[in-house]
Structure 1
Amino acid sequence: MDDGFELQLIDALQPVRGFALAQGLYHLFSSGIYERIADGPRPVRDVADALELDVARTSGFLRYLANENYVALSGDTVSLTGKGRQLAPYRPWYELLVGGYAQTFQQITDVLQGKGYASRDGRMVGVGSCGMSAFDALPLVRDLMSDLPAAPASLVDLGCGDGTFLTSLVTESDRLTGLGVDPFAPEEPTAPGVRFVRSGATDYVAEHGAAPGAEPDPSRMFVAAFLLQEILEQEGRAAVVGLVRGALRQGGHLAVVEVDHRPADPAVMRHGLGQAYYNPYYLLHVLTEQRLETDAFWQDLFADAGATVVSRRVADPRVDSTGLEIGYLLTRNTGAPGHPGGTRGEGAGE
């Protein structure tokens, strides 16, 4: 046997180590342990008892994480290490990719064999996506709102997930109300002025369509963050065109956030975030009932829906410097049908 076998084995097993570690860190959060020890050391038994966990198994789980240097064990006491504390802001990425999509990656062979789409945990996808949006999509929508001729009085968040995205926007203003639309929307309001409807976005827009000849309400703004990719694969291009057109018949503006689809672009795939996030993100969209498209595709679709791109922005480069997460502020084109109208063009508002 080659004398270098063991070293090659260690290298070959690093993806397995990463697989187990991603699961472990997700469950460190989801079990409630992270919050319990965030303020300082705690006896393992006290942590387990408070969370109704098995003490021996919890101890073994924490030993695993101690070996990876995310927690420290001293006798029967556990605490977060510096590395563990630094993980807190990135919890939503684990909630999305592990909580929402771990089961998806287990189904790759079935999907390759043509056995339908892979499943996912829709609730955790919503939780993770909304949490991540606090860093990228939420500031992006705020930037788009700053391009409006006047501040809106009401927001309709199509595909609102757990509602935190909409709630953040509404609670920042003393005059804004919000309606969240999503099959997994909360059953109760999350803040004053916020309410929810459990419905699909296309159904909601169709059922609440403006009366013939009615003018859009200029004080009403629709938001669709990472939603059009879902409708495109599940209901087709015509349904997306219909949703964009329908929203702009009811409200003055529609803010859209989508991800540019460039998995074969070396400039993207050599980027650190391209490897760490977008490469698996692109893969899961191949497996699930979602369809990513290019910036040019979306702009053509908006033109077909009779929409004008008022402004185009990208996520804060301090969070994501790839330029792949794009926000579009749309309004109804009052010029020639199908004409894209004025736009700030590539890089506007960046």
Structure 2
Amino acid sequence: MDEGFELRLIEALQPVRGFALAQGIHHLFGSGLYERIAQGPQQIGALAEALELDASRTSGFLRYLANEDLVALGGDTVALTDKGRALGPYRPWYELLVGGYAETFQQVTDVLRGKGYASRDGRLVGIGSCGISAYDALPLVRGLLTDLPAPPTSVVDLGCGDGTFLTSLVGDSGSVTGIGVDPYAPQEPTAGAVRFVRAGATDYVRQSAAAPDVERDPSRLFLAAFLLQEVLEQEGRPAVVELVRSALAQGGHLAVVEVDHRPDDPQVMRHGLGLAYYNPYYLLHVLTEQRLETERFWQDLFEEAGARVVSRRVVDPRVDSTGLEVGYLLTRQEGAAQ
């Protein structure tokens, strides 16, 4: 065996290390350990008991994290390192990609062999997506709202996930009511201005349009954040066209957030966030019941649906400077069919 084998082995195993570390960080958050340790140094036995975890296995898990410099161990006490504490704001990305899509990446070969779509954890996808949106899509939509002729009186969030996006948006004003529509919407009743409906977006819009007393309300805003890609793959382009047309027939505007599909663009793939986030993001959309498309595609579809683009915005470059996440504010073209 040549003397360079071990060095090449170490390099070859770095993706395996990254795989295990991503899982470890996800479970550090998901187990409740992170929140407890973030409050200050914790006695490991008491920590495991409080969280109903096995003490011996918890100790071994924390030892693994200590070797990756995320926690520091001293006797029977554990504390977060600076590196570990710095991970806090990025929890949603782990919830989405590691929690929501871990099983997806395990099914790559099956999908390549034509055995249907890969599965995903819809609940964690919703939680992670809404958490990430606090940094990108939510400020983006708030920007689109400033382009409205007047503030909306109601917001219908189609594909609301865990509802935090809608709740934050409605919470900006005490006079706005909200309806969140999603198969994984919260089941518990909500107080105040937001209520949730467990349903698919197209079914909800179709049924509400068919209601005998439905009238167009120019002050109602429909919201479709990362939804049209789902409908496109699962129900086809005509269903997306009808969804856009029907939403605008019931409300004054529709806000859409989608991701520009440019996986073969070297400018995107050379960007740090392009490789760290968008490369796996593009891959998982090949495997699941979602279909990303280009800006040109969406603009042509909006025109087909009788919609006019009032404004277009991208995410704050301090968060994401790729310009790939795009928001559109749509209204009905003059003379468009209802």
Partner residue of 2:22? Answer: 22
Residues 1:165 and 2:168 aligned together: no
Q: Give the gaps of 5 or more residues in structure 1.
A: 339-350
Deviations 1:209-256 (A, max 9, x none): 067997620110000000000000000000000000000000000000
Contact 2:208–2:214 under 8 Å retained in 1: no
Distance of 1:321 and 1:126 partners within structure 2: 24
Partner residue of 1:62? Answer: 62
Partner residue of 1:288? Answer: 288
Deviations 1:18-76 (A, max 9, x none): 00000000000000000111110000011100000000000000000000000010000
Distance of 2:7 and 2:173 partners within structure 1: 58
Distance of 2:322 and 2:63 partners within structure 1: 37
Shift of 1:139: 0.3
Alignment of 1:193-342 (within 5 A): 193-209=193-209, 216-335=216-335
Contact 2:259–2:293 under 8 Å retained in 1: yes
Secondary structure in 1 matching 2:312: strand
Distance of 2:45 and 2:191 partners within structure 1: 36
Distance of 1:35 and 1:137 partners within structure 2: 25
Contact 1:317–1:323 under 8 Å retained in 2: yes
Q: Give the gaps of 5 or more residues in structure 2.
A: none
Distance of 2:213 and 2:163 partners within structure 1: 32
Segment drifting more, 260-269 vs 203-212: 203-212
* CA 178–337 in structure 1, closer or farther in 2 if over 3 Å, else same: closer
Partner residue of 1:151? Answer: 151
Secondary structure in 1 matching 2:221: strand
CA RMSD of aligned residues (A): 1.4
Shift of 1:192: 1.6
Contact 1:167–1:190 under 8 Å retained in 2: no
Contact 1:93–1:128 under 8 Å retained in 2: yes
Contact 2:147–2:311 under 8 Å retained in 1: yes
Partner residue of 2:122? Answer: 122
Secondary structure in 2 matching 1:209: helix
* CA 224–336 in structure 1, closer or farther in 2 if over 3 Å, else same: closer
Distance of 1:49 and 1:211 partners within structure 2: 53
Contact 1:221–1:251 under 8 Å retained in 2: yes
Distance of 2:265 and 2:185 partners within structure 1: 36
Segment drifting more, 205-214 vs 3-12: 205-214
Deviations 1:171-197 (A, max 9, x none): 111100000000000012445210000
* CA 211–120 in structure 1, closer or farther in 2 if over 3 Å, else same: closer
| TM-score scaled by length of structure 1 | 0.94
